[in-house]
Amino acid sequence: MMKRSFHTCVLAFGIISGLLIAHIAYRRHSEITARPPERELRKPKEPMTFEDIMSLKQDDPTLVDFIRREAIHLPSTEPYNLKNPDQKHFSEIGQSEYMDNQILHGQRNGFFIEVGAIDGEYLSNTLYFERELGWTGLLIEPNTDTYQSLLLKNRKAYSVNAALSPIPYPTEIIF
């Protein structure tokens, strides 16, 4: 019984943390995803190197512009290309169904952030919300191979082949 309570607490903490992050991201959605016209972006005289990027703080306008221009892929306008198109929930242990039924109660047109999006379908906690409830969001996947598979799924969310940095500067993460 104690073990089940612990797992329930861990799941609840994860869900609440995810909701908090999604709420913050949703509030800042227009700031994060707004792309200024190309003429307004500062263009470096030479292409930015990995070393140039690594020296910039996370909120440096040059880094933000670089990410907007070079790293983030826009939501697809193509039809979904799913391996299991008839499947409704893709979560590992029912997280999307639980979140929808117990917490969000069918909330429509939200904004999510999925860290570790894998291929955008397998074990996805957000695909249900995107397809069934009109949500969009940001899919973050650090593995280059699975990220390429994610792009082929034609998700209706922004995506980036990156990892979250534990420090306030870009860094290379080995895992």
Task: Write the pLDDT tens digit of every residue in 14-38.
Answer: 455 454 455 455 555 555 455 544 4
Task: Specify if 84 maps to a domain.
Answer: yes
Query: Percent of the chain, pLDDT > 90?
Result: 59
Q: For residues 77 and 39, which has the higher predicted lDDT (pLDDT)?
A: 77
Q: Residue 41: inside a domain, yes or no?
A: no
pLDDT of residue 41: 46
On whether the CB atoms of residues 154 and 79 are closer than 8 A, the answer is yes
Backbone angles phi, psi at 90, to 5 degrees: -115, -5
Whole-number Å distance between alpha carbons of 143 and 52: 22
Q: Is residue 23 part of a domain?
A: yes
| Count of beta carbons in the 10 Å neighbourhood of residue 150 | 25
Range of the domain at 91: 2-36+47-160
Distance CA(150)–CA(81), nearest Å, equals 10
Q: How many domains does the chain have?
A: 1
Instruction: Please state, in angstroms and rounded to a whole number, the distance separating the CA atoms of residues 168 and 96.
Output: 31
Is the model's pLDDT at 175 over the cut of 80? no
Burial class of residue 111, CB neighbours in 10 A (0-12, 13-18, 19+)? buried
Examine residue 145 and state whether it is found in any structural domain, yes or no: yes
- DSSP at 80: P
Q: Is residue 108 part of a domain?
A: yes
Residue 31 counted as domain residue: yes
In a domain, 123, yes or no: yes
